[in-house]
Amino acid sequence: MKKIEAIIKPYKVEEIKNSLVEVGIHGMTVTYVEGFGSQGGHKESYRAAEIAVNFLPKIKIEVVVDDEKVDVVIEAIIKHAKTDPNGSIGDGKIFVYNIENAIRIRTGEIGSVAL
């Protein structure tokens, strides 16, 4: 089992969710996060105060899947997270982790059946 963690632009979340459902993913966790990478930030002004906003709002999607599905999921996320055909700065990142185990609280099922 692997966990795929994708940090994406907020307005892309619906599109990515739909594409993941299409490839057979039926569960995910979404978190609203802030951060910066190579995109940097932007400037805001409030009366006299000019403020550099470094932390941009992003969304973090976490999906845990069986090993054989990892490539499909990554492909789908990359395809839909790009903001133009060549991609642009700030489109996000994907991290893949190993997952030791999964347990469904309701039934106590263990392993990939619990996903």
Per-residue contact flags (x/-) with another protein for residues 21 to 50, judged by CB under 8 A: -----------------------xxxxxx-
Report the residue number, 43 or 106, with the smaller CB distance to another protein: 43
* Single residue of 23, 33, 53, 99 touching another protein by CB under 8 A: 53
Contact by Cβ (8 Å): 8, 80: no
The backbone region for 70, taken as left when phi is positive above 0, alpha when psi lies in -120 to 50, beta otherwise, is alpha
> Using the rule CB under 8 A, is 51 a contact of another protein?
yes
Least separation in angstroms between residue 33's CB and another protein is 13
* Single residue of 11, 38, 52, 108 touching another protein by CB under 8 A: 52
Q: How far is CA 42 from CA 8, 79, 88, in A?
A: 17, 26, 16
Enter the tokens of residue 86: 């060549």
Least separation in angstroms between residue 55's CB and another protein is 10
Least separation in angstroms between residue 48's CB and another protein is 5
Residues 6+ apart with CB under 8 A from 43: 50, 51, 52, 53
Contact by Cβ (8 Å): 112, 69: no
Least separation in angstroms between residue 66's CB and another protein is 32
**Contact footprint for another protein (CB under 8 A):** 44-49, 51-53
